[in-house]
Amino acid sequence: MSDPRTDLAAAGARLAALGLSPGSSGNLSVRSGDRILITPTGADLAEIDPDGLSELAVDGTHIDGPRPSKEFPLHSAFYRRDAATRAVVHLHARHSTAVSCLPPWSPRSAIPPLTPYFVMRVGQTPLVPYAPPGDAAQAEELAGLPFPLRAALLQNHGPVLAGPTMARAVEAAVELEEVSALLLALGERSPRLLTPEEAGVLAQKYDSPWGES
């Protein structure tokens, strides 16, 4: 059985190597039993110490370790939304952050069904209205969204994604950055999107949150 602490550190190193975590931006967490292990404030994802993580209760109460990232309310929101969530990734990746500065495609997803892999690996990704980093009210808004999701864009800020494993959350973060880059590359063109039927088939097959259900 893998160690959640080392899994988190390895994920941070991978995301940093991919250029998705500039400087000391971004934060990661995993759920281990009744606790959340989260990167401390100011942590560099390229150099996470598995033994130097902050420990929180699921409601965000600081239990042990250094001061957690100020973004801990976002992580807590995802864990409270879905008991199956075991990892949360928040980044300031260039392309997905750029998309967070644009008008959303729809109320449920800032990004349209541009590729099958976006629908399969990420799913609908709503744009959550702007708030200062670490804002608890924004996290509560995310927690209370009345439709299924495993990812969101924080307006003028960046992406936050959840998964049943850290590997799945990282995979989703990479895919979200890729589809964001494609969307920006298309510019003002009107691309062919997956039809609702095409997206629905993928969502059902891969148990991905998309559409009205």
> Which residue ranges form the domains of the chain, and what is each CATH number?
4-205 (3.40.225.10)
Find all residues with CB under 8 Å of 197, minimum gap 6, and list them.
Answer: none
The set of catalytic residues is 71, 117
Strand bridging mode 151-154 / 127-128:
parallel
Which pLDDT value is given to residue 25? 87
Which of 132, 113, 133 is closest to 121 using CA atoms? 113
Q: Taking the model in full, what pTM does it have?
A: 0.95
pLDDT digits (tens, 9 = 90+) for 55-112: 999 888 999 999 999 999 999 999 999 999 999 999 999 999 999 999 999 999 999 9
Residue 213 in this model has a pLDDT that exceeds 50: no
